[in-house]
């Protein structure tokens, strides 16, 4: 195995266990379909070499996990026995070397790592926290208005009538944003709903400082929705946070970000390094812990999910003048995918992007379509023009962008 690849036994054991889970768990793979496609061969190879190990304890644990990829106890047992095997001085058989090499390869090129939950965690609660209870218990009421603030958090949103998971997630995010250590009158929370009609306005308008409706009957355009929020809801604010409506934040989320921007040279950052995408049960637990139990964070150390290594989106902080200098987000992206990567590439061209390790988690919801009927990713509609080709002088965030011309 190359000296330039990971070699720590526990890390390799966790990677091999993760590969086995990914091969047998479609829900884990669906967290990031492109990331899975780019590394699927390596994960299949790791799973194959794992099952070739001639050891009864490993074979038993691997089979149990393959039969039930969500079995955290089985995952913990397999990682334990693999760590012991890879730590042994005499563990140099051809099969063990093949496993070590395959696990190191997935650690070197995959952006997916399954993180099992705590072994023996209790059975799921009968019901996940409800939207009404999350919005009824806001720690501090919104202040509204256009007063100067340190920061504005812009949340783009769309949810069909039956997308209750997305609605619950936004309620949880607003609950967590109301419970912040930063003074409540020094930051603004802006929800921008983009849809054919403002179907959730009555539910969310009073739970944020500014609710903006952006009419659009086509595929969800996150870029334009965010731009509308910055232009029509965030200003005037020194800092802008683009936050997806399914990222649950901790109590010091705003305060930490504002403090970071007081450091010379700071213009933009991701507050996370790797993002943990939770499964349905862990999402319900995180929401209950953070929003109903009043904990300062979601308790992610005990939750099951898939880590995405250094993803480009989900939550990005930057100065408002940097956002404006690059023309906001590229409004040609329409449908899921590509817009976040394009945005941060352009932002980093003009200002340095830092990464931190804040305890943020992604709440589970049904995945949106990311390809057209012919299988082509939506972002390829823009790719022909070239990523990072959005003009800096674009007239972005126009609310009349999708208004039919008179007489049409």
pLDDT, one tens digit per residue, over 338-359 is 899 999 999 999 999 999 999 8
Range of weakest confidence among 67-81, 140-154, 217-231: 140-154
The last residue of a domain, from among 81, 114, 147: 114
Angle at CA of residue 275, ends 68 and 269, nearest 5°: 175
Residue 114 has pLDDT above 90, yes or no: yes
Confidence of residue 204 (pLDDT cuts 50, 70, 90): very high
Looking at the structure, do residues 280 and 375 belong to the same domain, yes or no?
Answer: yes
Predicted confidence at residue 383, as pLDDT, reads 62
Looking at the structure, do residues 194 and 65 belong to the same domain, yes or no?
Answer: no
378: enclosing H helix or E strand: none
Longest dimension (CA), the chain: 81
The stretch 142-157 carries a mean pLDDT of: 90
Residue 390 lies in a domain: no
Looking at the structure, do residues 206 and 277 belong to the same domain, yes or no?
Answer: yes
Residue 395 lies in a domain: no
Looking at the structure, do residues 92 and 137 belong to the same domain, yes or no?
Answer: no
Phi and psi torsions of 177, nearest 5°: -75, -25
Range of weakest confidence among 81-95, 159-173, 259-273, 305-319: 81-95
Confidence of residue 399 (pLDDT cuts 50, 70, 90): very high
Predicted confidence at residue 71, as pLDDT, reads 94
The stretch 222-246 carries a mean pLDDT of: 96
The single residue listed with the structure tokens 């397999």 is 78
Residue 88 lies in a domain: yes
**Euclidean distance between CA atoms 408 and 385, whole angstroms:** 28
Contacts of 10 (CB under 8 A, 6+ apart): 79, 83
**Euclidean distance between CA atoms 146 and 22, whole angstroms:** 47
Predicted confidence at residue 408, as pLDDT, reads 46
**Euclidean distance between CA atoms 248 and 362, whole angstroms:** 6
Looking at the structure, do residues 267 and 207 belong to the same domain, yes or no?
Answer: yes
Closest CA to 99 of 13, 212, 220: 13
Looking at the structure, do residues 142 and 69 belong to the same domain, yes or no?
Answer: no
The stretch 100-114 carries a mean pLDDT of: 95
The stretch 327-332 carries a mean pLDDT of: 95
Residue 65 lies in a domain: yes
Q: How many domains would you assign to the chain?
A: 2
* Residue 236, token pair as written in the block: 């005037």
Residue 397 lies in a domain: no
Residue 90 has pLDDT above 80, yes or no: no
Tell me, what CATH number does 324's domain have?
3.90.550.10
**Euclidean distance between CA atoms 376 and 371, whole angstroms:** 5
Residue 344 lies in a domain: yes
| Total Cβ atoms within 10 A of residue 404 | 7
Looking at the structure, do residues 258 and 148 belong to the same domain, yes or no?
Answer: yes
Residue 105 has pLDDT above 80, yes or no: yes
Residue 337 has pLDDT above 70, yes or no: yes
Predicted confidence at residue 355, as pLDDT, reads 97
Residue 1 lies in a domain: no
* Residue 393, token pair as written in the block: 């002088």
Looking at the structure, do residues 100 and 170 belong to the same domain, yes or no?
Answer: no
Average pLDDT over the chain reads: 90
Residue 368 has pLDDT above 80, yes or no: no
The stretch 67-96 carries a mean pLDDT of: 90
Residue 302 and residue 365 in contact, taking contact as beta carbons nearer than 8 Å: no
Residue 405 lies in a domain: no
Q: What share of the chain is helix, strand, coil (3-state, %, to 5)?
A: 40, 15, 40
Looking at the structure, do residues 201 and 341 belong to the same domain, yes or no?
Answer: yes
Residue 90 and residue 44 in contact, taking contact as beta carbons nearer than 8 Å: no
Using DSSP's 3-state secondary structure scheme, residue 268 falls into: strand
Tell me whether residue 75 is exposed, middle or buried, using C-beta atoms within 10 angstroms of its C-beta: 0 to 12, 13 to 18, 19 or more. buried
Residue-wise DSSP of 295-333: -SS--GGG--EEEEES-S-SEEEEEHHHHHHTTSS-TT-
Residue 258 has pLDDT above 90, yes or no: yes
The stretch 101-127 carries a mean pLDDT of: 84
Looking at the structure, do residues 106 and 197 belong to the same domain, yes or no?
Answer: no
From residue 291, give the alpha-carbon distance in Å to each of 207, 226, 246, 327: 14, 25, 14, 35
Closest CA to 17 of 93, 99, 94: 99
The last residue of a domain, from among 114, 141, 167: 114
Looking at the structure, do residues 91 and 180 belong to the same domain, yes or no?
Answer: no
Radius of gyration of the chain (CA): 22
Looking at the structure, do residues 232 and 353 belong to the same domain, yes or no?
Answer: yes
**Euclidean distance between CA atoms 46 and 34, whole angstroms:** 19
The fraction of the chain above a pLDDT of 90, given in percent, is 78
Domain hosting residue 32, numbered range: 9-114
């Amino acid at each position: 195995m190359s000296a330039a690849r990971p070699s720590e036994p526990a890390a390799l054991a966790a990677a091999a266990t993760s590969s086995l889970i990914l091969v047998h768990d479609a829900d884990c793979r669906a967290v990031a379909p492109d990331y899975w496609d780019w590394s699927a061969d390596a994960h299949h190879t790791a799973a194959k070499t794992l099952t070739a190990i001639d050891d009864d304890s490993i074979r038993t644990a691997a089979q149990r996990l393959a039969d039930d990829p969500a079995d955290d106890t089985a995952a913990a047992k397999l990682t334990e026995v693999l760590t012991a095997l890879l730590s042994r001085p005499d563990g140099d058989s051809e099969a063990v070397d093949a496993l070590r090499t395959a696990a190191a390869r997935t650690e070197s090129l995959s952006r997916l790592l399954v993180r099992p939950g705590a072994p023996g965690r209790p059975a799921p609660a009968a019901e996940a926290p409800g939207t009404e209870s999350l919005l009824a218990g806001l720690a501090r009421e919104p202040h509204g208005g256009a007063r100067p603030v340190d920061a504005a958090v812009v949340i783009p949103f769309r949810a069909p009538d039956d997308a209750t998971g997305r609605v619950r997630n936004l309620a949880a995010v607003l609950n967590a944003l109301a419970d912040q250590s930063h003074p409540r009158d020094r930051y603004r929370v802006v929800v921008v709903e983009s849809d054919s009609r403002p179907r959730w306005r009555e539910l969310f308008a009073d739970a944020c400082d500014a609710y903006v409706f952006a009419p659009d009957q086509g595929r969800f355009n996150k870029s334009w929705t965010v731009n509308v929020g910055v232009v029509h809801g965030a200003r005037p604010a020194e800092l802008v946070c683009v936050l997806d409506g399914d990222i649950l934040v901790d109590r010091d989320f705003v305060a930490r970000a504002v403090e970071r921007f007081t450091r010379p040279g700071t213009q933009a950052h991701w507050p996370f390094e790797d993002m943990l995408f939770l499964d349905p049960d862990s999402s319900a637990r995180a929401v209950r812990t953070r929003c109903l139990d009043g904990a300062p964070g979601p308790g992610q150390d005990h939750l099951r999910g898939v880590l995405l290594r250094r993803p480009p989106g989900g939550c990005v902080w930057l100065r408002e003048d940097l956002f404006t200098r690059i023309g906001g987000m590229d409004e040609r992206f329409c449908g899921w995918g590509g817009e976040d990567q394009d945005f941060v590439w352009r932002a980093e061209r003009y200002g340095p992007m830092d990464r931190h390790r804040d305890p943020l988690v992604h709440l589970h919801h049904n995945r949106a379509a990311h390809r057209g009927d012919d299988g082509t990713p939506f972002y390829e509609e823009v790719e022909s023009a070239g990523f990072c080709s959005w003009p800096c002088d674009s007239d972005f965030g126009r609310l009349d962008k999708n208004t039919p011309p008179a007489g049409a």
